[in-house]
A and B are shown apart, each in its own frame.
Chain A
Amino acid sequence: MKNNPLRFVYAVPYAVWMLLFVLAPIAVIVYYSFFDLSGNLTLGNYRNFFSSIYFKLTMSSFWYAFLITFFSLLISYPTAYFLTKTKHKRLWLLLIIIPSWINLLLKTYAFIGLMGLYGPINGFLETIGIGSQQILFTDFSFVFVSVYIFIPFMILPIFNSLDKINPTLLDASKDLGASSWVTFKRVVWPMTIDGVKSGVQVVFIPALSLFMITRLIAGNKVITLGTAIEQQFLVTQNWGMGSTIAVFLIIFMFLIMLLTSGKEKGASANGKTK
């Protein structure tokens, strides 16, 4: 191709998109974080963020995100592992993925019924003699529903990395006298660590910023960074404070990405969670 300056003229729409919807949004968020409610330039929002209320909020948000990621991993790893050993693994994988294509709101809504006072879970507890419990609007229900939502996104990258392992390696390990636990620890796990990392990435970041599950399932008992941002933007209309929290969420996001970015590429193609 010749090197004329008009070579990239066709790329203008894409460049405009990048300027307007990737760079500008970050810029306006940072810009707004320096203004208070009445439009004065201030550092007050940042001072606020480091006050005990927001510190606690950040900590609890991280704690919940950690719990959600941990349990998702705990359930997903064996699932992915067993899936790779089934006969029609691609088909089974698709079946695991399908629930994630159903509208998020509908699945969350289902749990309102399932976990309600007269719902089937309480009915079950009643029959086995425990008696009905308040399940909805607790932090348990919040973590449970979130894990439910995120499991498919965790399974997919782990499945892909497990699927890539050359089976002869496992045979070699067995032939050399390793027990299946040692084989798992020394061969399988290290080879799937990148899949686990990208799974953690696609679960942890959205888990920090969930707000609709907290509202519908946890009944405002759990406040995450996402809930706080939504609250500041849409309820109290304090865009400055909302932006400040958003700035920190962006920083956390980059840190998590740094921590979980494997050398392997392609993890980003696995899609994103909401």
Chain B
Amino acid sequence: MGKLSSLPRIYLALVFVVLYAPIFYLIYYSFNSGGGMSNFESFTLEYYQAVFQDTRLLIIVMNTIIIALLSALLSTTIGVIGALAIYFMKNKSMRQTVLSLNNILIVSPDVIIGASFLILFTLIGVKLGFASVLISHIAFSIPIVVIMVLPKLLEMSTSLVDAALDLGASRRDVLTRVVLPYIKPGIFAGFFLALTYSLDDFAVTFFVTGNGFSTLSVEIYSMARTGITLTINALSGLIFVITMVLVLGYYIIGNKTKSPNQGVKR
């Protein structure tokens, strides 16, 4: 394909500027001693200090990370099981049905997921808080893991399994020494996506969080509703750096496996 002429270049540059401007704007003003998001007075790190001194905020950050790690771990486990179950299904129409059911939560709007989980938890009697948030995050991450793992399973040659069985491997061996190593990249990709989905979720958490428990997104929402606090800016600076590290990690894993699907977060 030919080289880009100048007009498309300008267009692309413009899109890039618009996409990144708000993020760098936030980070830029996190160093403003003036206290607002206009009129940069002088450089300060006091808001970063404030983030690390605010124990409530730190607890919320910890909560968010714990929820993300736990939900990613558990949803990856269940998701892999699900992908295996779908893979070994002989009946075609049944497989298709399960797959469509699997995708319902991926396409459902968050508000619906949040609202229906809220009713569900109230009916079953799960107390709103850590448990309900964790369960919801596991629930909406499972289908994503399945979607990431299943293509890997499908591209695996069935003769691999047959060969292992012929050579006397038990079914357990087939799973742990043939199948799982083969789909490992898919599992990692699913884990990473689940992690980032959980870190980024606002709407579902907002519905099922109840009082007294909060994740970062929900906290930022309530802070933002009261107006501008530069602590949020400092926080966003930190989150930006962490996100970049995660993206890089995901990119490296993705590149290693040459997976055609770039994962995208909601």
Contact = CB atoms under 8 A, between A and B. Distances in A.
Interface of A: 1, 7-8, 10-11, 13-15, 17-18, 20-26, 28-29, 32, 75, 78-79, 82-86, 92-114, 116, 118-120, 123, 148, 151-153, 156, 167, 201, 205-206, 208-209, 211-212, 215-216, 225-226, 229-230, 233-234, 239, 242-243, 246, 249-250, 253, 257, 266, 268-274
B236 A29 contact: no
13 contacts: A11-B81, A11-B84, A83-B12, A96-B15, A97-B262, A97-B264, A102-B236, A103-B216, A106-B239, A110-B23, A246-B111, A249-B112, A253-B109
B264 A257 contact: no
Interface string B187-208: 0000001001001111100110
B110 A209 contact: yes
Interface residues of B, number: 93
Given A119-B37, A211-B203, A271-B263, A18 B1 contact: no
Contacts of B18: 148
Given A13-B81, A229-B115, A25 B120 contact: yes
A268 B107 contact: yes
Contacts of B244: 98
Q: Is the interface of A mostly helix, strand, loop or mixed?
A: helix
Candidate in B114, B151, B225 with the most chain A CB atoms within 10 angstroms: B114
A28 B116 contact: yes
A212 B104 CA distance: 22
Nearest to A13: B78
Interface of B: 1-4, 8-9, 11-12, 15-16, 18-23, 25-26, 29, 36-39, 77-79, 81-82, 84-85, 88, 98, 101-120, 123, 139-140, 142, 144, 147-148, 151, 171, 193, 196, 199-203, 206-207, 216-217, 220-221, 224-225, 228, 232, 235-236, 239-240, 243-244, 246-247, 251, 261-266
A96 B16 contact: yes
B15 A243 contact: no
A70 B152 CA distance: 35
Given A25-B120, A272-B106, 15 more contacts: A13-B78, A17-B78, A22-B104, A25-B119, A82-B8, A83-B12, A103-B202, A106-B232, A108-B224, A110-B23, A113-B26, A114-B21, A268-B106, A269-B261, A272-B144
Contact of B82 (A17, A107, A110, A212): A17
Contacts of A152: 19, 264
Given A78-B11, A230-B111, A22 B1 contact: no
B120 A105 contact: no
B109 A208 contact: yes
A96 B104 contact: no
A269 B260 CA distance: 10
A78 B7 CA distance: 11
Contacts of B239: 102-103, 106
B41 to A, nearest CB: 14
A114 B220 contact: no
B115 A113 contact: no
A225 B112 CA distance: 10
Given A79-B15, A106-B26, A14 B78 contact: yes
A19 B264 CA distance: 27
Interface-central residue, A20, A206, A212, by most chain B CB under 10 Å: A212
A215 B225 contact: yes
Contacts of A98: 243-244, 247
A82 B225 contact: no
Given A101-B196, A113-B38, A274-B203, A209 B4 contact: no
B117 A209 contact: no
Contacts of A100: 264-265
Contact of B115 (A18, A29, A120, A272): A29
B102 A18 contact: yes
A58 to B, nearest CB: 14
A246 B264 CA distance: 26
Contacts of A123: 38
Contacts of B12: 79, 82-83, 86, 92
Given A82-B8, A229-B115, A270 B78 contact: no
A270 B193 CA distance: 11
Contacts of A266: 261
A102 B236 CA distance: 9
Contacts of A84: 1
Contacts of B265: 100-101, 271
Contact of B38 (A7, A86, A120, A270): A120
Contacts of A250: 108, 112
